[in-house]
Amino acid sequence: MSDDPKAAGAEVDGILAELEGMVAEHGVAVRMVAGPHPASDEGALAYTVGLSLKDQPELLCTGLPPESAHALLDQLGRRVVQQGLVLEAGQHLEAGHPDGSEGLPVAVIPVQDASDLDAVRQLYGSRSVLQVVWTDSTGRFPWHEGYANPSSLQQLRGPVDEDLLALPCPDVPPSPAAAENEELVVTTQAVLDGAAVTVVWHTADGGWQLLGGDVTDDTVPAAVHREELVEADHSLAVALTIPAGSRATREGAGQDWVQWPLGSA
């Protein structure tokens, strides 16, 4: 945002005009707001613009990568606009994965403070807002025992309904592949040279990719026994419990692992 008030005002007007154009064309737009640390999704915010015109609450989610957050809210917003879906606090439903498939469980809670939804406030005034809460890779919500992600990643903006608190905690057994110490995994030469593993993929077919460093089309892949990497970095053992079809990421060595919802791989 420009430091010049006139330039900043013109920039805001341009953003609002762009959002209004998207709402006119699609019925809903999604506004992304980065967190305080650009390299992390912690504190990141995404919210809908346009559902107010249908006299429905706007939606927000926190902590998801931008592409996933946009896909989630756009899909739910279009269901509200095009299919008449009515969302209310306390609901538990399935939303579509970013790849278009169905089956991502989400919960809906009220938002008590929506003062940072600037575009909504500027276009429609004070409106009711609901938060769409997503699960970790095991299907657990933030209030479940054993929730895998840091509490600071997905900040809850309001109280959780008793029916949501009573949702059963999924009993997800450790991945069979995680117990096979001799299994070969795909990694990169950078990891073998000492770079920290920052992304762990457990593919739908049961394979593993443990990646680190800058991965490009020219990156040289390497195969190694998983136990060798775990011996060098014991914190990898946590990430190697994720189910097939999901992934875990962290910002760097020694940081907490974040487990993304099933289907994110």
Q: Is residue 264 part of a domain?
A: no
CB neighbour list of residue 162: distance below 8 Å, 6 or more residues apart: none
Q: Identify whether residues 124 and 13 lie together within a single domain.
A: yes
By residue range, what is the domain housing residue 207?
176-259
Q: Is residue 54 part of a domain?
A: yes
Q: Is residue 47 part of a domain?
A: yes
Amino acid at 151: S
CB neighbour list of residue 192: distance below 8 Å, 6 or more residues apart: 222, 224
Query: For the chain, how many structural domains are there in total?
Result: 2
Q: Identify whether residues 105 and 182 lie together within a single domain.
A: no
CB neighbour list of residue 100: distance below 8 Å, 6 or more residues apart: none
Q: Identify whether residues 145 and 188 lie together within a single domain.
A: no
| CA separation for the pair 169, 167 (Å, rounded) | 6
Q: Identify whether residues 98 and 156 lie together within a single domain.
A: yes
Q: Which of 67, 73, 63, 65 is nearest to 26 (CA)?
A: 73
| CA separation for the pair 201, 265 (Å, rounded) | 7
Q: How far is CA 257 from the centre of its chain?
A: 13
Q: Is residue 225 part of a domain?
A: yes
DSSP assignment of 7-69 equals HHHHHHHHHHHHHHHHHHHHS-EEEEE--SSTT--TT-EEEEESGGGGT--EEEEESS-HHHH
**Mind listing the pLDDT tens digit for each residue in 42-59?**
667 999 999 999 999 999
The secondary structure of 113-181, three-state, reads: CCCCCHHHHHHHCCCCEEEEEECCCCCCCCCCCCCCCCCCCCCCCCCCCHHHHCCCCCCCCCCHHHHCC
Q: Identify whether residues 159 and 181 lie together within a single domain.
A: no
Q: Identify whether residues 93 and 212 lie together within a single domain.
A: no
Q: Is residue 265 part of a domain?
A: no
Q: Identify whether residues 83 and 199 lie together within a single domain.
A: no
Q: Identify whether residues 133 and 46 lie together within a single domain.
A: yes
Q: Identify whether residues 153 and 66 lie together within a single domain.
A: yes
**Token pair of 133, please?**
């809460």
pLDDT, position 28: 95
Q: Is residue 25 part of a domain?
A: yes
Q: Is residue 251 part of a domain?
A: yes
Decide which of 142, 165, 188 is a domain's last residue. 165
**Token pair of 240, please?**
């190697």
Q: Is residue 110 part of a domain?
A: yes
Decide which of 133, 165, 197 is a domain's last residue. 165
- Measuring CA to CA, how many Å separate 153 from each of 37, 40, 48, 168? 12, 9, 20, 22
Decide which of 109, 141, 165 is a domain's last residue. 165
Q: Identify whether residues 159 and 188 lie together within a single domain.
A: no
183-204 in b/e form (b: 16+ CB < 10 A) is eebebbebbeeebbbbebbbee
Count of CB atoms situated within 10 Å of the CB of 251: 15
| CA separation for the pair 131, 72 (Å, rounded) | 12
pLDDT beneath 50, residues of the chain: 1-2, 7-8, 98-99, 175-182
Q: Identify whether residues 112 and 232 lie together within a single domain.
A: no
Q: Identify whether residues 224 and 132 lie together within a single domain.
A: no
pLDDT, position 178: 44
